[in-house]
Amino acid sequence: MIGLAGWEMRGELAELWQACFHEPKRFPDYFLNNYFRPKDCLVYRVSGRIAAAVYLLPAEIVRENGTAQAHYIFAAGTQPRFRSRGYMASLLAYAAIYGARRGDRYSAVLPADQPLYSYYERNGYFDYYKIRSVAVSRSRLEQLAPVLPSGRILAPSSELNSLRGSVLSRYGGSVLWSNERFHFTVGFGSVYGDGLVCSGPGGNRSYAICRRVNEKLCSVREAMTAPKGLPGLAAAILKRYPAETYEFRLPAGEGLFPGEGTEERCGMLRPIGGTPAEKPGVPAPYLGLALD
């Protein structure tokens, strides 16, 4: 039976999360205690127990004349003993109907691995989002930012999210999040070892979400800057995350380090509720902050 989750199901949902993703309990606990809403979670129950679940996190999609309501499919998982029975396919089909009823026009998803792209394609999704991976040496960042900042800069989540929306407004089809979701993502990322780096006031504002891979490599999982914000951001990253190489995950096309790096698919889209399908534009749409 498919239905909405309840607050009392959080313990069982945490067990499902661990069984599917093999992560310590602190990861699902953080999500379920800080961002979980029953209205955004569908469960498939068998004999009263949760066999599968999927979260529909509210989002917005950049359109030509504004934004369209959407949801992001997150942490879709089925208990191992219940797999290959079509439960997740049924949940995704129901999610499209449920989402359309609440006003969603699109459903976005970032498959956890390459084989899952084929699975989601069979369930109505198509390749849509890309990222551009650019490897930048420490010496190059130092050339961009010869003077390191004297202290750590903090900024309100709402201000950083506004910057993000401004940058992505020219990437039609990109996913935008609420201020609440942005704030949660930063906190949730910290459980996995991510850190938020900020720099500059006003027109020089910028931020990056970074994760140290090892002593030599730092992954810059998202970076957004105002037109003159890159030098300050480079300095802030160097100060907080000294490394030999920085792997930037960026929107495709223009932006930071234009024309460099390798583009790769990074997410899928499904129009729902009768919304016509549209091919991704140029530059390619960007998902980002997907809790991957």
- Under the banding of pLDDT at 50, 70 and 90, the label for residue 277 is confident
pLDDT (0 to 100) of residue 163: 95
**Extended strands (E) in the chain:** 2-4, 41-46, 49-63, 66-78, 106-109, 126-127, 130-137, 175-176, 194-199, 206-212, 217-225, 245-250, 262-265, 268-271
Mean pLDDT of the chain: 94
pLDDT (0 to 100) of residue 192: 93
pLDDT, average across residues 264-271: 96
Q: Distance between CA atoms of 201 and 198, rounded to whole angstroms?
A: 9
CATH superfamily for domain 2-127+266-271: Gcn5-related N-acetyltransferase (GNAT) (3.40.630.30)
For tokens 């509720």, the residue is 273
Reported as half-sphere exposure (CB side, CA atoms, 13 A), residue 4 has a value of 10
pLDDT (0 to 100) of residue 200: 84
Checking if the pLDDT of 110 tops 80, the result is yes
pLDDT (0 to 100) of residue 146: 77
Among 7-11, 140-144, 281-285, whose mean pLDDT is lowest?
Answer: 281-285
pLDDT, average across residues 62-72: 94
Judge whether 136 and 257 are in contact, CB under 8 Å.
yes
pLDDT (0 to 100) of residue 2: 97
pLDDT (0 to 100) of residue 151: 61
pLDDT (0 to 100) of residue 189: 94
Please state whether the predicted TM-score (pTM) of the whole model is above 0.75.
yes
Checking if the pLDDT of 186 tops 90, the result is yes
- 48-66 per-position pLDDT tens digit: 999 999 999 999 999 988 9
Q: Are 2-127+266-271 and 131-264 the same fold in CATH? A: yes
Task: Parse the chain into domains and list their residue ranges.
Answer: 2-127+266-271, 131-264
Q: How many helices (H) and strands (E) does the chain have?
A: 8, 14
pLDDT (0 to 100) of residue 150: 64
Look up residue 76 and give its two tokens: 């879709």
For tokens 């049924």, the residue is 90
What distance, in Å, lies between the first and last C-alpha atoms of the chain? 28
Single-letter code of the amino acid located at 54: V
- 145-178 per-position pLDDT tens digit: 877 776 667 788 999 999 999 999 989 999 999 9
Peptide bond into 201 cis (omega under 30): no
Judge whether 13 and 28 are in contact, CB under 8 Å.
yes
- 77-93 per-position pLDDT tens digit: 999 999 999 999 999 99
pLDDT, average across residues 127-137: 96
Q: Which pairs count as long-range contacts for 161-167, CB under 8 Å and 24+ apart, including other chains?
A: 163/205, 163/206, 163/207, 163/224, 163/225, 163/226, 164/224, 164/288, 167/224, 167/225, 167/251, 167/255
Percent of the chain with pLDDT over 70: 99
Q: Distance between CA atoms of 241 and 137, rounded to whole angstroms?
A: 13
Among 159, 240, 262, which Cα is nearest to 201's? 159
Q: What fold is seen in the domain 131-264?
A: Aminopeptidase (3.40.630)
pLDDT (0 to 100) of residue 73: 98
